[in-house]
């Protein structure tokens, strides 16, 4: 890690919803340096492994540098004219609902605002949806049912002021690492109890007092049981329930019928009764309780009910809106919250207004002076891509998201994109989605664009540019405004800069808002350009007059017509698709520690790829044994929607009958390893969010006959392989290859990938039986350019040395040349092994050596190797290594 200067441009991290402040600078040699902003109230100077590696993602390698039409370079004028005219023609012939936008929680608020304004206000269709449909939609729907508005009441300090934090369906340690570190620090001084509810034993579950490994999808049962227990044990706050809520009696009666006893809940959720009782007693007895939830709750065909089952328990105890208390849906993307403010979901209007209220529709239309504004909700993501597939939507503009990978039933989404008459994609790089674009628009990336983002605790922070966009790249808001202007809506999109857009967004939040909508940032509507530039992280609401307190829903008033919150009576229902004999395993998908979504940025950083370098499906040892699968085998996984291949990883943290595949692997980093191809498009009836956490699959072993590895400086696209994956190393890539063909065919395929190389540059070797092949090429200076090794499974050497030769770019010494084809260093080199600590690049072998040398605590390992001393995300893995060593010593 390179140390950043003490000063720099104050900006915000573009990854998760914690929303950490970053100080970014450009060193004299042009390298971008980053460090945590000590003054930012989300992180107080800390960054996780992904944030700390931001400086390594800003290069122009792989960037889109100019607009493209049908694969050829074009000018902005030509591209923008074409987009505007094709959209206008489609609307003129087929009506406004024949076009759509699919956007992203990674856009800045200003980008998002103008995209929504163009579609809903001026094109006059509700057809703008966002990847937040796959992410936060169930929380939004649950909040609206309970509170009348999409309100996250709490702030991060609540996690530090609580005595009990329940983390359900959240792998906070990996997905919101800095917030998790804040919680753990508070726990050290306060003794906070942590309960984790997750079918998997995650890194988060490694640091808790109680882990309830419930069966997938049984959350409603667990929380219904809790509500019934709170009532039985006298933990309900009758004053709050009477004064501030409605529907308690019915909700508690149904919960009691659905989950009559801890014994029943234990059996239904597949956990021990003593653990259920322990959780219920702890919750009943602890006033300062926060329940944090995320995708294990939202990404379900009953996600909205799960959200309300949780909120019900907080309403019953009056634990909401007060210090150290409340339900807390943590947002995933950096501006998921901002997207909800501008109304980016197809069933929302701007500024927390809704299509379900005619006054709101009219108000937004008047504010925008847009008489033909949309009056009805548009298509939600899964339905939207269906409509694209069957030709109802004929022109689609995708911005800042990669649906060919991240949508469920991804094969169908790809064929919809292929079938669509006109696809526009705005991105910063080529992706699996850009392959389907008729027009490709190069967007300015993080560090090059300016605007606002809002984090999980409703805190707005500025992203600020500190680099010039490369080539012709432009910020998204400008691209949208340019198209709007060409479609004849110039007056409404005549913005000079993001500040002007933000002021309009703030003004709309306050427009005819007498306090009925809590999202009110009217005080910012008159902010001058200089104040916008200086804007320090601030919570909303920020009304012109009235209450700007940080915690919302305090005092027992809710933004419903009668001011009362609603209990929602819910019943446990099964997952949308049940496992059966043909597909006996419930596949769960989610995140790895150091990767961001479809890897377009984090997949290019060697140290972020080093912890989990290949696509791995985690399976319980019992299930693996039944299927004849061993660690490292290649598995063929299939659901009713499609298939994927990944390496087998045996994991005791996986419940028998379940498996876990990371969502990250796109076609740019592996062959057919995408979770989206397997995932289910069946959705929650209220939120439209798909059940990404549960799909029945069968898993079988592929008989691998040969394995290979290519270390190369070149960015290649393997084709024809049963399986490959790649990871970056310094100065190049490592491709892991394998196949079910005969070894000689494997050698042939691999040599084709190596390509035609002049014979004088090539050294090669094939064994007599034709099972092993080794080749290496050197550049003019005599440094290693490529190395290809093919061998029967299990017989490839360690790659540390060859990778280091590639990285050094130094001419090889004679001894090194001699050793090249063996792949083994002529002199012993310190082994690193798979990287555990991505911040300080410390590997398994180094940590194991420190443990063997007597280090028996995470702190001791940190002192000896530096591992675990920066962001802390790897501490649970280090602890597991120490524990395993202890166990072995005891045996």
Q: Which residues bind ligand MGD (CB under 6 A)?
A: 16, 104, 106, 131, 134-135, 168-171, 174-175, 197-200, 202, 216-217, 219, 294-296, 299, 332-333, 399-403, 405-406, 426-429, 431, 443, 445, 449, 476, 588-591, 593, 595-598, 600, 663, 675-676, 679, 692-693
Closest to ligand SF4 by CB, 50 or 193: 50
43 interface partner picked from ligand MGD, Mo ion, ligand SF4, none, CB below 5 to 8 A per type: ligand SF4
Q: How far is the CB of 400 from Mo ion (least distance, A)?
A: 13
Can you tell me the distance from the alpha carbon of 431 to that of 598, in angstroms, rounded to the nearest whole number? 9
Task: State the nearest-atom distance from the C-beta of 550 to ligand MGD, in Å.
Answer: 23
Q: Which does 456 bind (CB under 5 to 8 A by kind): Mo ion, ligand MGD, ligand SF4, none?
A: none
Torsion sign over Cα 105, 109, 115, 121: positive
Q: CA 446, CA 576: separation in Å to the nearest integer? A: 38
**Only segment of 12-20, 327-335, 486-494, 563-571 that touches Mo ion (CB under 5 A):** 327-335
- CA 700/CA 584 separation, integer angstroms: 12
Indicate which of ligand SF4, ligand MGD, Mo ion, none lies near residue 454 (CB less than 5 to 8 Å, by partner kind): none
Name which of 13 and 569 has its Cβ closer to ligand SF4: 13
Residue 746: strand, helix, or coil: helix
In angstroms, what is the minimal distance from the CB of 50 to ligand SF4?
4
> Is residue 708 close enough to count as binding ligand SF4 by CB under 6 A?
no
From 205, 203, 165, 209, select the one nearest 183 (Cα to Cα).
165
Phi first, then psi, for residue 230 (nearest 5°) are -60, -40
User: What are the structure tokens assigned to 175, written together?
Assistant: 């997905």
CA distances from 748 to 396, 741, 787, 808 (A): 42, 10, 15, 29
Report the b/e string of 78-100 with b at 16+ CB within 10 A.
ebbebbbebbbebbeeeebbbbb
Task: Based on the shown chain and the rule CB under 5 A, indicate whether residue 403 belongs to the binding site for Mo ion.
Answer: no
Q: How far is the CB of 179 from ligand MGD (least distance, A)?
A: 10
599, 591 contact by CB (below 8 A): no
Per CB under 5 A, 676 contacts Mo ion: no
Contacting residue, 4, 9, 10, 15, with ligand SF4 by CB under 6 A = 15
DSSP string, 617-681: EEE-HHHHHHHT--TT-EEEEE-SS-EEEEEEEE-TTSPTTEEEEES---TTTBSS--GGGTS--
Q: Tokens representing 177?
A: 């690492």
* Residue 47 interacts with which of ligand SF4, Mo ion, ligand MGD, none, CB < 5 to 8 Å by class: ligand SF4
81-89, 231-239, 329-337, 363-371 -> range binding Mo ion (CB under 5 A): 329-337
Residue 20 sits in the site that holds ligand SF4 (CB under 6 A): yes
Q: Which residue is nearest to ligand SF4 (CB)?
A: 51
CB of 490 to ligand MGD, least distance (A): 22
**Nearest distance from C-beta of residue 330 to Mo ion, angstroms:** 10
Tokens of 831: 């082994």
Strands in 193-197's sheet, in edge-to-edge order, are: 210-212, 193-197, 164-168, 289-293, 326-329
C-alpha distance from residue 220 to each of 150, 228, 794 (Å): 20, 12, 45
* Closer residue to ligand MGD in complex, CB, 845/880: 880
Q: Which parts of 43-62 interact with ligand SF4 (CB under 6 A)?
A: 43, 47-48, 50-51
Q: Closest separation between CB of residue 129 and ligand MGD, Å?
A: 12
Q: With respect to ligand SF4, which residue has the nearer C-beta, 35 or 645?
A: 35
3-state secondary structure of 206: helix
Burial of 430 (0-12, 13-18, 19+ CB in 10 A): middle
Sign of CA dihedral 505, 507, 508, 510: positive
Element (H, E) at 413: helix 410-419
CB of 669 to ligand SF4, least distance (A): 19
Least distance to ligand MGD, CB of residue 648, Å: 18
- Please report how many Cα atoms fall inside a 13 Å half-sphere around the Cα of residue 869, on the Cβ side: 14
Q: What is the DSSP secondary structure assignment for residue 784, as one 8-state letter?
A: E
Question: Any contact of residue 690 with Mo ion (CB under 5 A)?
Answer: no
Cross-strand bridge partners of residue 68? 73, 440
DSSP for 863-880 reads: HHH-TTSSS-TTHHHHHH
Which one, 503 or 597, has the nearer CB to ligand SF4?
597
Of the candidates 126, 169, 332, 649, which one interacts with Mo ion according to CB under 5 A? 332
- Asked if 135 touches Mo ion (CB under 5 A), the answer is yes
Task: Using the rule CB under 5 A, give the single segment among 52-60, 135-143, 280-288, 623-631 that binds Mo ion.
Answer: 135-143
Please say which residue, 333 or 434, places its beta carbon nearer to Mo ion. Answer: 333
- Coil, strand or helix at 86: helix
Instruction: State the CB neighbour count (10 A cutoff) for residue 267.
Output: 13
Q: Is 345 in the site for Mo ion (CB under 5 A)?
A: no
- Tell the smallest beta-carbon distance from residue 56 to ligand SF4 (Å): 14
- At 710, list the tokens: 């290519």
Among 851, 782, 764, 586, which residue's Cα sits nearest to residue 692?
586
Q: Quote the least distance from Cβ 347 to Mo ion, whole Å.
A: 18
Nearer to ligand SF4 (CB atom), residue 19 or residue 843: 19
What is the footprint of ligand SF4 within residues 373-432 (CB under 6 A)?
none
Percentages (nearest 5) of helix, strand, coil residues in the chain: 35, 20, 45
The conformation of residue 270, written as its DSSP 8-state character, comes to T
Query: Taking CB under 6 A as the criterion, which residues in 151-190 touch ligand SF4?
Result: 176-178
Nearer to ligand SF4, 18 or 353 (CB): 18
Cβ nearer to ligand SF4, comparing 177 with 642: 177
Residues 834, 613 contacting (CB under 8 angstroms): yes
The partner in contact with residue 426, picked from ligand SF4, ligand MGD, Mo ion, none with C-beta cut-offs of 5 to 8 angstroms by kind, is ligand MGD
Tokens matching residue 794: 């299990």
Is 83 strand, coil or helix? helix
Please give the residue whose beta carbon sits closest to Mo ion in the complex.
332
Query: CB-wise, 453 or 579, nearer to ligand SF4?
Result: 453
Considering the complex, what minimum distance in angstroms separates the CB of residue 605 from ligand MGD?
Answer: 13
| Cβ-based nearer residue to Mo ion, 150 or 360 | 150
- Least Å from the CB of residue 891 to ligand MGD: 30
In the list ligand SF4, ligand MGD, Mo ion, none, the entry touching 427 (Cβ below 5 to 8 angstroms by class) is ligand MGD
Give me the least distance between CB of 176 and ligand SF4, in Å please.
Answer: 6
Look at residue 593 and give the partner it binds from ligand SF4, ligand MGD, Mo ion, none, a contact being a CB closer than 5 to 8 Å depending on partner kind. Answer: ligand MGD
DSSP characters for 484-503?
Answer: HIIIIIGGGG--SSHHHHHH
Note whether 475 binds ligand SF4 by CB under 6 A: no
- Minimum CB separation of residue 679 from Mo ion in Å reads 14
Question: Which residues does residue 426 pair with via DSSP β-bridges, in sequence order?
Answer: 399, 441
Which CB, 399 or 518, lies closer to ligand MGD? 399
- From the CB of residue 356, how many other CB atoms can be counted at a distance below 10 Å? 12
When the beta carbons of 177 and 344 are compared against ligand SF4, the nearer one is 177
Residue 179 Cβ vs ligand SF4, minimum distance, rounded to whole Å: 7
Beta strands in 198-304 (DSSP E): 210-212, 245-246, 289-293
Binding site for Mo ion (CB under 5 A): 135, 332
Binding site for ligand SF4 (CB under 6 A): 13, 15-16, 18-20, 43, 47-48, 50-51, 176-178
């Amino acid at each position: 890690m390179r140390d950043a200067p003490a000063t720099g441009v104050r900006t915000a991290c573009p990854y998760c919803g914690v929303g950490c402040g970053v100080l970014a600078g450009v060193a004299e040699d042009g390298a971008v340096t980053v460090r945590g902003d000590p003054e930012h109230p989300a992180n107080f100077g800390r960054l996780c492994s992904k944030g700390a590696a931001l400086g390594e993602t800003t290069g122009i390698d792989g960037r889109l540098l100019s607009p493209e039409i049908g694969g050829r370079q074009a000018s902005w004028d030509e591209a923008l004219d074409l987009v505007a005219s094709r959209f206008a023609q489609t609307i003129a012939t087929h009506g406004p609902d024949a076009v759509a936008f699919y956007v992203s929680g990674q856009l800045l608020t200003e980008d998002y605002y103008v995209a929504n304004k163009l579609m809903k206000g001026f094109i006059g269709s509700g057809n703008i949806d966002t990847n937040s449909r796959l992410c936060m939609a169930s929380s939004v729907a649950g909040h609206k049912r309970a509170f009348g508005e999409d309100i996250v009441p709490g702030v991060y300090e609540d996690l530090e002021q609580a005595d009990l934090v329940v983390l359900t369906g959240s792998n906070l340690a990996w997905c919101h690492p800095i917030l998790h570190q804040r919680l753990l620090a508070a726990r050290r001084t306060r003794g906070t109890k942590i309960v984790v509810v997750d079918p998997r034993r995650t890194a988060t579950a490694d640091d808790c007092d109680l882990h309830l490994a419930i069966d997938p999808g049984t959350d409603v049962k667990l929380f219904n049981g809790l509500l019934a227990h709170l009532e039985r044990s006298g933990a309900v706050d009758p004053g709050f329930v009477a004064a501030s809520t409605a529907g308690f009696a019915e909700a508690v009666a149904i919960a009691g019928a659905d989950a009559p006893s801890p014994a029943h809940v234990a059996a239904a959720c597949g956990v021990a009764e003593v653990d259920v009782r322990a959780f219920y007693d702890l919750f009943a007895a602890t006033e300062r309780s926060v329940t944090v939830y995320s995708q294990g709750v939202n990404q379900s065909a009953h996600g909205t009910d799960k959200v309300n089952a949780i909120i019900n328990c907080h309403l019953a105890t009056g634990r909401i809106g007060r210090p150290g208390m409340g339900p807390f849906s943590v947002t995933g993307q950096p501006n998921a919250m901002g997207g909800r403010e501008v109304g980016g979901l197809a069933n929302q209007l701007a500024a927390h207004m809704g299509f379900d209220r005619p006054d709101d529709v009219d108000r937004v239309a008047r504010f925008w002076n847009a008489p033909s504004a949309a009056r009805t909700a548009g298509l939600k993501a899964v339905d939207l891509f269906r409509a694209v597939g069957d030709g109802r939507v004929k022109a689609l503009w995708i911005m800042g998201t990669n649906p060919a990978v991240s949508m469920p039933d991804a094969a169908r989404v790809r064929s919809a994109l292929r079938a669509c008459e006109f696809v526009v994609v705005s991105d910063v790089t080529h992706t699996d989605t850009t392959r389907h674009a008729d027009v490709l628009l190069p967007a300015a990336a993080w560090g090059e664009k300016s605007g606002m983002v809002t984090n999980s605790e409703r805190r707005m922070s500025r992203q600020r540019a500190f680099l010039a966009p490369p080539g012709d790249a432009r910020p998204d808001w400008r691209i949208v405004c340019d198209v709007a202007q060409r479609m004849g809506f110039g007056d409404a999109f005549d913005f000079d800069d993001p500040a002007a857009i933000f002021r309009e967004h703030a003004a709309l939040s306050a427009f005819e808002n007498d306090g009925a909508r809590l999202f009110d940032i009217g005080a910012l509507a008159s902010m001058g350009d200089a104040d916008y530039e200086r804007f320090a992280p601030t919570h909303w609401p920020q009304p012109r007059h009235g209450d700007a307190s940080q915690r919302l829903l305090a005092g027992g008033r809710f933004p419903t017509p009668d001011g009362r919150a609603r209990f929602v009576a819910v019943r446990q229902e099964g997952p949308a698709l049940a496992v059966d004999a043909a597909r006996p395993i419930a596949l769960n998908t989610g995140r790895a520690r150091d990767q961001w979504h479809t890897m377009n940025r984090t997949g290019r950083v060697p140290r972020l790829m080093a912890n989990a370098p290949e696509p791995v499906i985690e399976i319980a040892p019992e299930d693996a044994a039944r299927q004849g699968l061993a660690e490292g085998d290649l598995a063929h996984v299939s659901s009713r929607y499609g298939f994927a291949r990944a390496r087998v990883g045996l994991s005791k943290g996986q419940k028998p009958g379940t498996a876990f595949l990371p969502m990250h692997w796109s076609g740019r980093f592996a062959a057919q390893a995408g979770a989206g191809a397997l995932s289910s498009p069946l959705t929650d009836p209220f939120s439209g969010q798909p059940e990404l956490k549960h799909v029945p699959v069968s898993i079988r072993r592929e008989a691998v006959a040969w394995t290979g590895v290519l270390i190369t400086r070149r960015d290649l696209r393997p084709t024809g392989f049963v399986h490959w994956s790649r990871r970056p190393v310094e100065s190049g890539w490592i491709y892991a290859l394998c196949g079910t063909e005969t070894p000689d065919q494997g050698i042939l395929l691999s040599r084709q990938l190596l390509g035609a190389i002049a014979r004088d540059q090539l050294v090669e070797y094939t064994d007599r039986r034709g099972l092993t092949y080794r080749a290496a090429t050197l550049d003019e200076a005599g440094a290693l350019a490529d190395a290809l090794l093919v061998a029967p499974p299990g017989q490839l050497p360690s790659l540390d040395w060859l990778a280091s030769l590639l990285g050094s770019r130094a001419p090889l010494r004679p001894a090194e040349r001699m050793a090249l084809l063996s792949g083994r260093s002529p002199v012993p080199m310190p082994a690193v092994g798979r990287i555990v600590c991505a911040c300080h690049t410390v590997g398994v072998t180094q940590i194991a050596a420190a443990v063997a040398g007597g280090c028996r605590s995470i702190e001791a390992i940190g002192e000896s190797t530096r591992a675990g001393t920066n962001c802390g995300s790897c501490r649970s893995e280090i602890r597991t290594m120490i524990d395993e060593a202890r166990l072995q010593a005891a045996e």
